[in-house]
Amino acid sequence: MRLSKRLLQASALAAVVVFASGFRGCYKPVSKTGLPTHVRTVAVPAFQNQALRYRVESRFTDAVMREILRRGKGLRVQSETKGADAVVDGTIKSFAFYGVLLDTRGRARIFEVTITAAVTVRDQVTNRVLYDNQDYVFRGEFEFTDDTRSFFNEEDPAVQRLSRSFAESLVSTLVNGFGVNEEP
């Protein structure tokens, strides 16, 4: 009885050692970003607005800054380029919305918004372009209500949603390293 108990304990200990050593190599925490390791501070100066749409550029700039803070794995964000390791330059090139669904009276109820932007991410330490997309296109929809008493302009919330979507996509690209030029 005593021998079988020791044998069972030794087997259990061996099983623990085998499982622990076997699974240790399988799990590797994700710590690498698509940005070079020396990039600790990212500047996001105000985006340019070629679309001539009121405050679109400020909404996109704010959304990118918030998303970098939220998902940037410890990156600091500032608006000034001086002292930053990397700079995100952006331009809102166009902004358009079109009626895509009509109501019973022939008025547009659902609109599609399309925003085209240009984004360049530059490493200021090595003076290299890390990411460049001059045709970043985003689309979204918003709806007007039939009830004129509760009507309010949905364009602004639609732009806010699009700016968040844009920022999530851009920061995901930078953090995960898809399409970002790698270090030499």
For residue 90, being part of any structural domain is answered with yes
pLDDT bucket at 30, cuts 50 / 70 / 90: very low
For residue 58, being part of any structural domain is answered with yes
Give the whole-number percent of the chain exceeding pLDDT 70.
72
pLDDT bucket at 103, cuts 50 / 70 / 90: confident
For the segment 57-68, the average pLDDT, to the nearest whole number, is 94
Name the least confident of 27-31, 34-38, 79-83, 101-105. Answer: 27-31
How far apart (Å, rounded) are the C-alpha atoms in residues 11 and 98? 70
CA-angle at 169, arms to 155 and 119, nearest 5°: 85
For residue 62, being part of any structural domain is answered with yes
CA dist list (Å): 151 to 83, 103, 131: 46, 15, 41
Question: What's the helix, strand, coil split of the chain in %, to 5?
Answer: 35, 30, 35
**Domains in the chain: how many in total?**
1
For residue 106, being part of any structural domain is answered with yes
Q: What's the pLDDT at 183?
A: 47
Q: Domain limits at 107? A: 34-176
- Report the candidate in 152, 155, 143 with the shortest Cα–Cα distance to residue 102: 143
Q: What kind and span of H or E run contains 11?
A: helix 2-24
For residue 7, being part of any structural domain is answered with no
Q: What's the pLDDT at 108?
A: 74
CATH code where residue 93 lies: 3.30.160.150
State residue 89 phi and psi, 5-degree precision: -100, 130
Q: What's the pLDDT at 28?
A: 40
